[in-house]
Chains A and B, each alone.
Chain A
Amino acid sequence: MSLRLEPRDHASVGLKLTVSLAAGVIALLLVAIPVVAAGGTPLEAYWLMLQGAFGSMFALSETLNRATPLILTGLAAAVAFRAKLWNIGAEGQLYIGALAAVCVGSGLLQLPPALMIPTVMIAGFLAGGLMMVIPTIIKQRFGADEVVITLLLNFVVILFIQMLVEGVLKDPLSMGWPQSVPLIAEAKLPKLVPRLRMHWGLITGLVAALILWLMVRKTVLGFEIRAVGENKAAARFAGIPVDVTMLKVALISGGLAGLAGVGEVAGVKGYLSSDLSPGFGYSGIVVAMLAGLSPVGTVIAAVFVAAVFVGADSMSRATGISSYIADLVVALSLLCVLVGSFFLRFRVIFERRQVGA
């Protein structure tokens, strides 16, 4: 027997669905191994996870609350990766967006909520965007690798935030906790449902996904981003300004990550601290990859990843199995989806080899 790969011209929708479904099932089967090793029963554990993620209004709210920043950082990664701009710096852009929100929204400006909230969002978007535009300019001018720059900037930014919240921005009323002065009430994002943590940042994420989807399909900018991402040489030859298009992508990508930071500050915490994000920026990359870089898929993948984390916490409390199982589910799902995408690109052919004469 021998095995050969032939590239596929086209993958049908049915095949894509089958592969995605199979990837999910295989990931769950693989996770069953450590669950059993930890002394649990897989089906029970999965059921508890599902309950914990979607089983009540509170659970659903927690899941969607967690999904909100992931949608935005996921979109940030998806839009950049489509243009082959490797933005690994969503974490830092998120913090800078949050910082901008605090700078503008903690009393510097006094506006009614209808103006204050958009102002805070625009400030966060622009600040996050700038954090990606600068590495892109450095890449274009000096050929420095944006993966390295954006990745390392994450640490610079978080240390910078730490310095601020323990220094000039420190809230004098925080009883010594390293956190910034709070946002004024007008700048805070309203809750979607009273007494639940879900907030309007979720709507922002959904609208952003919709706008990106429309942008890719319907606008000149989306057309140019696709062309630059798919074949830079042909795009340049055809007269598309490659560098300018890349800067636009950088602004959008960094801006979306910045909005995620605004949502966490203005929607959840109310102040800035250096533990604002448990790695939403990095998880956004996973979300975007799970979604195959599609804007609508990003929303679904973000809810999935959020549900796994929220559900695993709840399952862990009930069964004593470590909630680290959530990392395993997400990691294995990603691996399965990546392996699956291989089968979408190639057809695997087994054939019996004739014995040579």
Chain B
Amino acid sequence: MTDAPVLLSLRNITKRFGALTANDAISLDLHRGEILALLGENGAGKTTLMNILFGHYVQDEGDVRVLADDGALATLPPGSPGAALKAGIGMVHQHFTLAENLSGLANIRLGTEPLLSFGRESAARAKVKKIITESGLDVDLDRRVADLTVGEKQRIEILKALYRDAKVLILDEPTAVLTPQEAEGLFVVLRRLATNGLGVIFISHKLGEVLAVSHRILVLRAGKKAGELVTAQADRRAIADLMVGKAVAEVVRIPALPGETLMEFDDVSLHGAGRQALSGVNLKLRAGEIVGLAGVSGNGQSGIAALISGLAVPSSGTLRLYGEAVTKASPRDLVTSGVARMPEDRQHDGVVGTMSVADNIAIEEVRSPAFSKMGLLDRKAMRERATAAISGYDVRCPGPDAEARLLSGGNVQKLILARVLEREPRVILANQPTRGLDVGAQAEVHRRILAARDRGAAVLVISEDLDELFALADRFVVVHAGELSDAGSSESLDRGTIGLMMAGQARPPVGIAS
């Protein structure tokens, strides 16, 4: 592999933001036909590095070189996304940048041609068709993007990059929105593209995938290159240790001892709510048990989360908490009756960025006697609680008065854990509890959730990461198109079965090989 010519070369890239060195003399080479995985904790500098490569940021030192047509490496002018595109660097962002109301083909051509372009469509179509045959990225080019599945939209994004003659393809967390089967399909495509001579940079925090798809792994830690290894010789533990710089304690899970039902969905439907819609959902959350909710995103998870959070009320059916109907409960009612909720989008729904860490820890209970008397805030109590939470949950921040927007994603999640778990809740909703978190923070969150379960809390974990669900859940449920089906105890399940159920197929009868 290393005999192939170098397509892209980063030399001693250094980028500082004030006192913080986000990238410290990072060098990397990407060869033709190679899939390089870029791994690292949150804040390790992956995003900064890719932003420099793509011209969004200007590096303080070092340069980016790309293989030019004459076979030599040419330095890319810093701070110019246009130059990066022109040099053949294609990027597929985690959040797609497609015009939903245009066809796939129109999206692919968008921005590559002058406004008045008569008769170029057939040439463009021929070129895209050729790329599709070579890569196996099969997709209907004439359907509106809005009508495509997430996996198909991703294919359009990749085609868009290839159409612009990308030599280097960067994929940022590409599997977050895919079922395991779709992810496997993506890997097949990536391997094929690499064989055809493309260089691929694959950013992911899912170790299993990185091991499955990449040739080489580059690990970043705290802005520095922590290690570089050939995938064939690497193993899971070694990579995890490299990422966090210390041995990661494996989270051990003892079997659950489910107790009484604390929260129950009884034939609950939610109509007219688009991606939140649910029909006839039955679900029991029992004390001392973690239920894992799997599903391709947008199939109703957010509806279930909204109901437990008090943000939505059932259109029909009953939601019961401790045996009593709470069909009309507000978020505050649920919080005071002992329901802990971790929001899916923690930056958007979890914290008020311009308020302090102390304010954000107290926000759910600001009216309780603990934090206020006669309508006056008890700032001292709020600060004390925040100080305790910062040390108890290892929230990295300048102090209780720092604005929450300055915290990294992992630290925001620790802040939310501190806020909701300190009250010893009886029911816990953990919605994407570790999305975007590094391995160290993930283990910490998992440990806290398991501890809460062992204390007797009923837990629902919603996650797109099957590894996470298998690490935590005692029992699985799968949601597809707003319908929930019971998949049974996690011991009797494998990823393939869950994957089929996520795609809408019924659970195969036990005993018949699937």
Contact = CB atoms under 8 A, between A and B. Distances in A.
A223 B311 contact: no
A237 B355 contact: no
Contacts of B364: 238-239
Q: How large is the interface on B (under 10, 10 to 19, 20 to 34, 35 or more residues)?
A: 35 or more
B406 A237 contact: no
Contacts of A236: 311, 331
SS class of chain B's interface: helix, strand, loop or mixed? Answer: mixed
B119 interface: no
A60 B379 CA distance: 40
B248 interface: no
Interface string A208-237: 000000000011111110110011011111
A168 interface: no
A218 B376 contact: yes
Interface string A328-357: 000000000000000000000001011111
Interface string B354-372: 1100010001101100001
A356 B80 CA distance: 10
Contacts of B311: 236-237
A354 B78 contact: yes
Contacts of A218: 376-377, 379
B376 A219 contact: yes
A353 B77 contact: yes
B352 A241 contact: no
Interface string B303-337: 00000011100000000000000000011111110
A336 to B, nearest CB: 24
Interface stretch (B226-234, B254-262, B343-351, B436-444): B343-351
Interface in B387-409: 403, 406
B75 interface: yes
A231 B58 contact: no
Contacts of B331: 236-239
B377 A219 contact: yes
B79 A353 contact: yes
A271 to B, nearest CB: 38
Nearest to B18: A9
A141 interface: no
Given A224-B366, A239-B332, A231 B79 contact: no
A353 B78 CA distance: 8
B377 A230 contact: no
Question: Which of B58, B309, B363: most chain A CB closer than 10 A?
Answer: B363
A195 interface: no
Contacts of A206: none
Contacts of A235: 352, 363
Nearest to B310: A239
Nearest to B365: A239
A12 interface: no
B74 interface: yes
B354 A223 contact: no
Question: Which of B77, B310, B331: most chain A CB closer than 10 A?
Answer: B331
Contacts of A351: 58, 79
Contact of A237 (B18, B80, B343): B343
Given A239-B330, A354-B77, A356-B80, A226 B352 contact: yes
Contacts of A219: 375-377
Contact of B77 (A227, A230, A356): A356
Contact of B352 (A221, A222, A230, A355): A230
A231 B352 CA distance: 5
A240 B363 contact: yes
A56 interface: no
A176 to B, nearest CB: 51
Nearest to B347: A234
A356 B76 contact: yes
A220 B376 contact: yes
Contacts of A4: 58, 79
A354 B58 CA distance: 11
A154 B402 CA distance: 42
B251 interface: no
A230 B403 CA distance: 12
B355 A230 contact: yes
B363 A9 contact: no
Nearest to A242: B331
B62 interface: no
Interface string B185-200: 0000000000000000
Contacts of A238: 331, 335, 363-364
A9 B79 CA distance: 21
Contacts of B406: 9
A234 B80 contact: no
B367 A220 contact: yes
B286 interface: no
B349 A234 contact: yes
B377 A223 contact: yes
B341 interface: yes
A286 B469 CA distance: 54
A93 to B, nearest CB: 25
Contact of B366 (A223, A234, A237): A223
A231 B353 contact: yes
Contact of B332 (A226, A230, A240): A240
B330 A241 contact: yes
A227 B363 CA distance: 8
B370 to A, nearest CB: 12
B75 A233 contact: no
B110 interface: no
B212 interface: no
Nearest to A351: B58
A233 B349 CA distance: 5
B355 A220 contact: no
B50 to A, nearest CB: 18
Interface in A236-263: 236-241
B28 to A, nearest CB: 20
Contacts of B377: 218-220, 222-223
A221 B83 CA distance: 52
Contacts of B352: 226-227, 230-231, 234-235
Interface string A1-13: 0101000011000
Contacts of B74: 356-357
Contact of A234 (B18, B336, B351): B351
A221 B332 contact: no
Interface in B21-78: 58, 74-78
Interface in B89-109: none
Nearest to B87: A356
A234 B111 CA distance: 37
Nearest to B331: A239
B355 A227 contact: yes
Interface string B1-29: 00000000000000000100000000000
Contacts of B376: 218-220
Contact of A356 (B18, B83, B310, B351): B83
A141 B162 CA distance: 49
A237 B341 contact: yes
A221 B375 contact: yes
Nearest to A227: B352
Given A222-B377, A226-B355, A234-B363, 20 more contacts: A4-B58, A218-B376, A218-B377, A219-B375, A223-B366, A230-B353, A231-B348, A231-B353, A231-B354, A233-B349, A234-B349, A237-B311, A237-B343, A237-B350, A238-B335, A239-B335, A239-B336, A241-B332, A356-B83, A357-B75
6 contacts: A10-B403, A226-B352, A226-B355, A231-B352, A231-B353, A237-B309
Which 6 A-B pairs have CB atoms at the shortest separation, nearest pair first? A239-B332, A356-B77, A239-B331, A231-B352, A238-B363, A237-B349
Interface of A: 2, 4, 9-10, 218-224, 226-227, 230-231, 233-241, 351, 353-357
